[in-house]
Amino acid sequence: MTDNNRSAETPSDNQLNNPEQDLASRFPTAYTILFLLIILVAGLTWIIPAGQYDRTMNEEVGREVAVPGTYQTVDPNPQGFVDIMLAPTGGFYDPDSYAANAIDVALFVIFLGGFLGVMNATGAIDTGIRSAMRHLKGHEIWMIPILMSLFAIGGTTYGMAEETLAFYAILIPVMMAAGYDAVTGVAIILIGAGVGVLGSTINPFATVIAANAADIPFTDGIIVRFILLIGGLLICAAYVMRYAMRVKADPSRSVVAKQWAAHRRLFLGKHDEGMQDSTLDGTQITALLIFAATFVVMIWGVSSQGWWMARMGALFFGAAIVIGIIARLGEKKLTSSFVDGARDLLGVALVVGLARGIVVIMDQGMIADTILHSAETSLGGLPELAFINLMFWIEVGMSFFVPSSSGLAVLSMPILAPLADFASVGRDLVVTAYQSANGLVNLINPTFAVVVGGLAIGRVSYDRWLAFIWPLLLILTIFITLVISAAALI
């Protein structure tokens, strides 16, 4: 029997479950993509000569930095079968010169999942979403630029990245209840914070470290970065709003149209209908207030108190206990809800380790400095426009292998920034080219835990994300190129 209540434009469950019709079902999972990248990088260690720069401790940066002019080839250490098999495990805890270990991020994700599991057990999130949508009816679209601006502020001021993983499970149901799709929720967070990092102004993990490594004040070039920040945010917000309005008018135009029904079941559960009958009781209101306060404390701790994943995980663990007690869940339901929630995000935690395994292989194979040395020799003697644009594309390429903004700054700036003196380009513009390249790549970078983690939480496959974002990447690339080219000529 035909379901007359189903929109003709809304994808059916049969479409969702038919692998012959669903292209996403034939695309490799994030786990497969990352493992294939580990194999690819291991193969490169057999082709690219091993080499190293001498390094010295930079007290201002707080890490060892490469010394220009000291590159030398070293005995190769090609990565074989055993190294490939050890890389996913090594990605969690092996020391690495260019990025933080992944075990702390993975554990944070697990504690976050437990916190969300306890919160879902109170029913406060579902009821709160229905209540919010009833009050925002007709004005939902304006949530997009407002929220993207808030995430961009976090990105430009303190490099908001891994901590955004805490927001996906909250924001995606809100967007879906408003008539949009899971990609809209992912885009608001990932692109919002990403464009903030792309246009970093006082971000200590990108701008400040890179400027110190380049031996210039971090305030040099801040006007150009503000232009990138404001212009990039306007472009991105307009792009996401246009997409969201198109999806709401015609759900079949969603890039995850074939997952529409499954996403609604997953993120909205049994409360997909009947939003008019939503009323929060006193316990649920209290739980939501604690819920919101937890995120406020997290942002305060990261931005001003030097918190990292261990303290954030402890915060969510403690908040889960408090919420469970207030909601009178009881010991058994509290613990089972926490474990079930942690289990839901276990796959995300595994993805984080796999992504870091790629960096482990590259570092053990000692090819990063060789790539950097090739960039150094390519930039010598170029005129201003050619120099800064080639610099941008070199940083784009290196960002795929070194997604960490601080890691890439420490690796590349001591070598590449002094070359600007010979091209009559300010070193501050080299810093700007580096951070805009790194921010752009990290909107899609499969080696970046924030990308693969966010997509995994949102149940958006990597190929669907690329289908959504590639026109925006092209627009942003043109915009960045015009800005840095104009700055080089002024």
Give the pLDDT confidence of 388-408 residue by residue, as tens digits.
999 999 999 989 888 888 888
pLDDT value, residue 17: 40
pLDDT value, residue 206: 86
pLDDT at 341 over 90: no
Radius of gyration of the chain, Cα coordinates, nearest whole angstrom: 23
pLDDT at 475 over 50: yes
Question: SS3 of 366, please?
Answer: coil
pLDDT value, residue 61: 62
pLDDT value, residue 13: 40
pLDDT value, residue 27: 65
Q: What is the DSSP string of 55-103?
A: EEEETTTTEEEEPTT--EE-------HHHHHHHHHHHHH---SSS--SH
Do 171 and 131 touch, CB atoms closer than 8 A?
no
pLDDT value, residue 26: 61
Q: Is residue 149 part of a domain?
A: yes
Cβ burial of 84 (10 Å; 0-12, 13-18, 19+) is middle
Question: SS3 of 3, please?
Answer: coil
Q: What is the DSSP string of 14-71?
A: HHHH-TTT-HHHHSPPHHHHHHHHHHHHHHHTTTSPPEE--EEEETTTTEEEEPTT--
pLDDT value, residue 479: 97
Provide the number of structural domains found in the chain: 1
CA distance 195 to 274: 37
Do 119 and 340 touch, CB atoms closer than 8 A?
no
Rounded to the nearest 5°, which phi and psi values hold at 268? -110, -15
pLDDT value, residue 324: 92
Sequence-distant (≥ 6) Cβ neighbours of residue 264 within 8 angstroms:
176, 272
Eight-class DSSP state of 215: T
Amino acid at position 151, single letter = F
Nearest to 156 by CA among 91, 236, 97, 84: 236
- Per-residue confidence at 82, pLDDT binned at 50, 70, 90? very high
Compute the average pLDDT of residues 413-430: 87
Rounded to the nearest 5°, which phi and psi values hold at 392? -60, -45
Compute the average pLDDT of residues 350-370: 84
CA distance 375 to 395: 9
Q: Tokens for 249?
A: 């008018």
Sequence-distant (≥ 6) Cβ neighbours of residue 193 within 8 angstroms:
151, 152, 154, 155, 160, 161, 164
CA distance 416 to 174: 44
Q: Is residue 71 part of a domain?
A: no
pLDDT at 277 over 70: no
Question: Which segment of 84-98, 111-125, 312-326 scores lowest on mean pLDDT?
Answer: 84-98
- Per-residue confidence at 3, pLDDT binned at 50, 70, 90? very low
pLDDT value, residue 199: 93
Question: Which segment of 309-323, 370-384, 455-469, 471-485 scores lowest on mean pLDDT?
Answer: 370-384
CA distance 214 to 231: 26
pLDDT at 249 over 60: yes
CA distances from 154 to 151, 240, 277, 311, 368 (A): 5, 19, 36, 18, 30
Percent above pLDDT 70 for the chain: 89
pLDDT value, residue 225: 95
- Per-residue confidence at 19, pLDDT binned at 50, 70, 90? very low
Q: Is residue 61 part of a domain?
A: no
Domain that holds residue 346: 27-47+80-489
- For the chain, give the mean pLDDT: 83
| 303 or 206, which is more confident | 206
pLDDT at 98 over 50: no
pLDDT at 274 over 50: no
Cβ burial of 484 (10 Å; 0-12, 13-18, 19+) is buried
Q: Is residue 2 part of a domain?
A: no
pLDDT at 309 over 70: yes
| 396 or 355, which is more confident | 396
CA distance 223 to 228: 9
HSE at residue 475, side-chain half, CA atoms within 13 A, is 14
Cβ burial of 262 (10 Å; 0-12, 13-18, 19+) is middle
Give the pLDDT confidence of 163-197 residue by residue, as tens digits.
788 888 888 988 888 889 999 999 999 999 999 99
Compute the average pLDDT of residues 280-289: 84
Q: Is residue 4 part of a domain?
A: no
- Per-residue confidence at 129, pLDDT binned at 50, 70, 90? low
Cβ burial of 340 (10 Å; 0-12, 13-18, 19+) is middle
